[in-house]
Amino acid sequence: MNAVVEQALDLWSLHDATYSLVAARENAVFKITSDTDNYALRLHRSGYRTDAELLSELQWMNAVSEGGIKVPAPIASTSHALLHVVDGVQVDVLTWLSGITMDQTLNGQVNRADLFERLGKDMARLHAVSDAWPQPDGFIRCSWDRDGLLGQAPLWDRFWDNPGLAPNDRSLLIAMRDKADNELASLEATLDYGLIHADLVAANVMVNGDALQMIDFDDGGFGFRLFDIATALLKHLDAPDYPELRAALIKGYTSERPIDLAALDLFMMLRAATYVGWNITRMLEDGGEARNARFINTTKRLAIAYLHGATDPCTN
């Protein structure tokens, strides 16, 4: 890994810079420190995205940054390329964003609702800037559409086949999937759809003073805008102040652009189900089984309410 980093530093003319590993979960991310600035160097996980998909991600991030939203902006190498492949590893360099995660900030003495209102505003601005941007030829990203959420091969795996599901739980999720697929088929033409971050959890938002900064566009692509809102809310579903956080996020979002919220509870459930699929290949990680149980329990709760035509009490 170090050999790849050092070759990449040469490609970006950062020969004398120092580097340190700061994250190694999905991608390996290094902080690069030169005499003049700091950067983030990413070594992408093998096989997750094609070169064309990664180049599209970088082009989109650059457009979002130029649109005034604080995100890591791509840095071109000395050959003017945004992406290189070094010894089979896809590599890029981004501007470095300082601060702490919104996750950490929410655990401190802070106005939590205010943070969510600000996040809602920035999310709406992300969607607006993305809609206004003319996508370049060859632009390609994944699609969190009906097929990507509920088809035979969802983007984050077949949640109804999670090995942690008891037989009756699997039947529940299959019934939920069938009903949700029919409902989404009738709604999809009317829903707000376009480029979304798709993973805008608090761990992927950096707080630096009054500024919020969005990171980790790995899973960004085309999708329903309600899916972005649901993603930001889901992990706070059981927080005592969840109703206030939900109201604040929606207030912030709708202050910037309109959105029909009638199907938000449907997307809360669909977002929960994606995590049940996502964890299938991560069961053997530390904490993987406990995490799996949490994901399944949340999805079951929302699915039961959905199938019975009720609203989960935490979503009011």
User: Average pLDDT, stretch 214-234?
Assistant: 97
Question: 17-30: per-residue pLDDT in tens?
Answer: 999 999 888 899 99
Distance CA 154, CA 148 (A): 4
Quick one: 2-96 is in which CATH superfamily? Phosphorylase Kinase; domain 1 (3.30.200.20)
pLDDT of residue 316: 45
User: DSSP letters of the chain?
Assistant: -HHHHHHHHHHTT-TT-EEEEEEESSSEEEEEE-SS-EEEEEEPPTTSS-HHHHHHHHHHHHHHHHTT---PPB---TTS-S-EEETTEEEEEEE---SEEHHHHHTSSS-HHHHHHHHHHHHHHHHHHHHHS-PPTT----EESHHHHHSSS-TT--GGG-TT--HHHHHHHHHHHHHHHHHHHHHTTTS-EEEE-S---GGGEEEETTEEEE---TT-EEEEHHHHHHHHHHTTTTSTTHHHHHHHHHHHHHTTS----TTHHHHHHHHHHHHHHHGGGGTTSTTHHHHHHHHHHHHHHHHHHHHTT---GGG-
User: Average pLDDT, stretch 265-284?
Assistant: 97
pLDDT of residue 293: 97
The third-level CATH classification (topology) of the domain covering 101-315 is: Aminoglycoside 3'-phosphotransferase; Chain: A, domain 2 (3.90.1200)
CB 57 within 8 A of CB 107: no
pLDDT of residue 26: 84
Residue appearing with tokens 């959890």: 201
Question: 114-162: per-residue pLDDT in tens?
Answer: 999 999 999 999 999 999 999 999 999 999 999 999 999 999 999 999 9
List the chain domain ranges: 2-96, 101-315
